Structure formats: C-alpha cells, structure tokens
Structure 1
Amino acid sequence: MGIEELVEAYSKTGFNGRQLGEAAKLFGKMISEDATICLTISGALTPVGFGGIFKELIERGLVDWIITTGANVYHEDHFAWGLPVRQGHHEVDDMQLYDKGIVRIRDVFIKFYETLEVEDQIMQRMFRDRLLDSSFTSAEFCNVIGEISSAKAPHPERSFVAAAHKYDVPVYVSTLKDSSLALNLAVHRLRGKEHSLDFVREILEQAAIVHGSKKSGIVELGGGVPKNAAQQTGPLLDQILRRDHGGQDYIIQVTDARPDTGGLSGATLQEGKSWGKVQDAHEGMVTVYSDATIAFPIMALYAMSVGGRRRHKRLYKNLGRLYSDLKDAYFSEPDKYYGLLGDDYNMGSWPKT
C-alpha cells in the first residue's frame, strides 16, 4: 500500500483517522489550486528531526511562507553546524541531567556546553554587525541565519532555514523575544549595539502576502502564537484596513488542545469565521486532534506524492511589492477607513459608551 492508498483508507474510517485522511486530501487540494500556503510550527518540532520534512516541502515549492516559534529556528541550526542532539528518555532524574550538563526537551537530550553554548556563540557572531542600521522583521532576521549557515556551516543541507533562504521563503518568528534567538542579542545591547524589531511592518507584510494571493491556506502544527499570527491576517485586512477580504480559503489544524477551555490553541476553525479569519465556516477546513509528530509526516508525504513540485513563489524577494500593493489598495478607497484630511488624520469624535 502506498501513501495515497493509506490516506484514502484513513478517509473512509471515522473519528480522527477520517479527519487525518481529509486533512491530507485538503493539503493536496491547496497545492493543486496553487494556493499560497503558510506553515505554522508551534512548540519545538525541529529537535525531534521534523526540520527535514519542512526542508523537503520548501524545496518542492509546497510551502510558501512560515510562522514559527524561535525554538524551532534556534534548535534547527544545531543540525547545520553538526552540534549534538540525541534521543534520550522522558523518565529521567533531571537533577542528574543538570549535573551532567544536559538539557531535556521531553525525550530529546541536548548538550549544554557542546551544543547550546556553541550555538549561542554562533548566533552572537552572526548578529554582531548585522541588522544594526535600521529596524528589521523576524523574516529578515531568519534570512540572515539562513544566509550565513548556507555559507559557513558544514551541513547547510540539514537546515530548513537555509533552504528557506535559498528559495526565498519568509520565515517569521512570531515571538522573537521569547527565545534564545533574542537572548543572544543581549550581549550586543550591553556593548551599545541596538537591534530593533519592526513588528508593525511584519504584520503588514503577512497581511500583504494574503492580500496578494489568489487563494491562501494555512497548515497549522499545534496552536499558540504562530496559529494566531497567521489567522489574524484576516482581521487586519477587514477589521482594521477594511478590505472586505474575508480571510483564508483553507486551514488545516493538527492539535491536541481542547476547544472548551477557551484558549486560542484549541479554538475551532469555525469560530475563526466570526472574526473574519476564514472565508467559509462550512468548508475548506479540517481539524485533526492528534500529536503533530504522528499526523504531520503522513500529511506531508501525501502532499509530496500528489503535489510533486511547484514553481517557487519566492515571496521573500517580493515582500516590498506586496507591501506597496496593500498600501495602494488601502489609500485607493478613503471612504472605507477613518480617512485623511490633508496631512491630518480625522479620527472623529470619541465613541459614546
């Protein structure tokens, strides 16, 4: 049985097996319709080796842009530089690990000195003289990592960040400060060098990608901030910029979070319609309640099997044009927003409460 037959078998069962089959097929539909596909990655999936899957999808043109946690970028760079990451066990005395200089991510072990401290030195060296002249986005930040790792690291072929640099796939880190990536900028600030993240330009770029796409979809691994950062493009376009866009055409979510607790990670995709995050509450969406390490390899292999390869959209090189297009569209219909009177914003009177 091949992957296509396996997915077909899943889709003819029930419960989350059926959802997995339908999610894989929807991924294939996104590809066949040439949708602009965003991959969101929560948690720390690269230490368990998923960077190889992300890299393959990038190289085949099946993922066009990425929103991730900083952990996935930071730990992915270990593989490019050949730094030790090993399988361990979740039943262990963490006091002993600490004494031996080993950090743990569930059942993955990473050397404190041989890996983390070496990686910190690499990161500090990368940004000692980069991105200092003006503000930057986290996509520009990750592009620097991909550029330098491609040129200097002994194993750039092991890094999805290096592949993203090669194929102009923007990689956004939705909470850059909440990771070792940002921690390593602290030594430069203490020496008088300032790095300034332009988070407003970042959210506008992300909305501009969606605005400039004929069709747009998201594959969400987990929830958290990456999920919201991708989905909030709809409310930015409609609620704030008043573009009447409607949100994403497709969303696939793989999560183990419950919807009844009220958290964003478990919020149903249908709920997102009320915010304008998705075009239709009745179709184009599938949620798989599963561990992403189980479900995503099946979905990805199916996408590669039916999707083959696509022309790379190279969004990173086109971000400036997409941003300008969104800006022009915003100012083309002044009646849709709290408009301009000369050079002065007329925001109207304060609303009565």
Structure 2
Amino acid sequence: MTHTVSNLLNWYRGNARALPWRNPPGEALPTDPDWPYRVWLSEIMLQQTTVAAVKAYFAAFTARWPTVAALAAADDADVMQAWAGLGYYARARNLLACARAVVADHGGRFPSDEDALRTLPGIGPYTSAAIAAFAFGRHAIVIDGNVERVVTRLDAIDTPLPAARPQIRGALETLTPQNASDFAQALMDLATSICTPRNPRCLICPLSPDCRAARSPNPADWPRKAPKRPRPTRRGTAWWIEAQGQILTIVRPAKGLLGGMRALPSSDWHDTEPAPAPPLPGNWQNLGAISHGFTHFELILSVHALSLPQKPQLARADLSGALLEAAWVNVEDIPGAGLPTLFKKAAVLARAHLPEAA
C-alpha cells in the first residue's frame, strides 16, 4: 500500500462521517440482506443533491418502504410525492423501474457484479461501482466529482474536465487498494471537509506531502475546467385556476421533465416567448413570472390566474391534452400537495397576489 493510501485511510478512521447508509471504516459489511437496497437508494438520492438534504428523505423512504420489494410494490404517485424536492424526477421514475426489475429479474436481491448492476434502470458506471464497493465489498473504481477534485490536485492533472477522466481513472487504478469501499469514501469525506472546491485546507490534509497542487501557489486552480457554455432560456405559462376555495392541479405526463408529478396546468416550454391560449375562457390576470434553473436550461414561467364561481366540467382537450388525474386541492393545502419546486414557486407567487384566495 502506498504512503498516500496509508495516510488517507488512517485519517479516515478518525474522521469518517457517520451516515445511515454507510458502513463504519474497517468494519465487516452488514449481514442484513437489504443492506444493498439502502446503499443503492442513497446513491440515487445523492445524485445532484447534498448529504444534508438527503438524510431526511432517506429516513422517510426507508421507514415507509424498508425493502426493495416494498418499494417495487409502491404506488407511483406516492413515490413521486415523497420524492418532491430531490429534483430531477426522471430519477424517481428510474428508482421504481429499478426496484421492480430487481424483484422481477433478480429475486428481490441486487446483483453484486458491476456489469449486471449496469443493466438495471438508472444505474450507470459510477453507481454500479459504488454499489459493488459499498454494498458488497468488491474491488471497484468509484469516481464522482469529489474524487475527481482530489485526484486532479494530487497529480496536478492539467487536462480540463471531462477530458481528464481517463487520467483520473488511471491514477485511481494504481492507488485503489483491495478495500475499495473505505478508500473511495475516504476520498469523498476528504473532499467535503478539507479538499474543498475553494480554499482547500492543505496544511491539515493527510495527502499534502504527496500532493503536487498543495505545493503550488493556488491549489484551487485544479481541477481545470473547460469554458462553460451559456445555458439557454426557455419560457412557458402556468395557470392558477381557483374555484370555491380550491385550486386545479394535474399529474404531468410520465415522460419528460417533472414527469408523473402533480403540478399546476401549464403550457409547453419553448425557446421563444410563448403565446399559449389559456385552457379555459375567462378574465385571466397576469401575475408576473418566476424563474427556475434546470441542469441544461433556465426556465421563465409566467403565472396567469383565473377565479371562477363554480368548478367547470373539464375534458382532456381543456388542458392541452395534459389532463391526467386532475384534482382540486384546497388553497391552504397547496404547500403540502407534493408540487415540485418549480410549481411551488408559481403557487407562492399566485397566493401573494391573490390574498383573497388564500
């Protein structure tokens, strides 16, 4: 074992984060047959989400669906509502699809082999390596953004990301010991507490004697990054329809962003200023707009409101073909109705402008 690896693992034994989905350093893996389920669930939740944010969701999911079989049998709408706030709802759909595939094709037990894991919905190279290492103790090369940062600094890799990834993998293939689980999670904890994106704490880092970036004037210059392309802006309209103290909500089509989520009726999102016809005739009020950032674009959503004395009879054509499981929700219950963040913002704007509806 190299000096670098020894220093890192010694540091990890005294500084590892205690997380409900993580095995303590140096200990044998749990014998609980559902341990791989917990590891997998945490990894899917942690994609593009912080550990602090995931803890409460993980506790709620494992209390409600303690096994992969229980999750596979869950109602889609219940899972989507429980996922609200974790972002990128395609992951929630893949979560259900994966759980059902594990039950149907693998007898309710996750495979331990990386190649077999990658055949499951929503599991790519990183997640398969993480599950193999963290759930089954396999020797696997686990690389996420935190690990990339540490390794590019350790070797002062000047190739910008993502082109540097083959060099990062090559370095890790040399460094990774048989105990890949502790090593990978040690790198992640080091990146979180010491080798941070800005102002890394090199003076107390266990890797600093071997780190080339630590000997440079500015270790935060790594990893190198290619120039970012500007994110395009898209626009759309959301409709706040109130009648008899209730608000009309729909379930969005399963495919696409926010698929399967309960939401306000809305138009499609376009690169140009839309001029969609409202779903119902009436005296519509333009309440302004909210903005929301997705991974690849920024959305500006205009919010238009209509107050009706009685609930109208609705047909699918009334809502541009998007009328799926339409439901009227009490105005005061809207904050807890499971709307994704985008439509929560629209609801906040509407209620602020229409106090009489609140």
TM-score norm. by structure 1 comes to: 0.24
TM normalised by structure 2 equals 0.24
Larger Rg: 2
Higher relative contact order (CA 8 A, sep 6+): 1
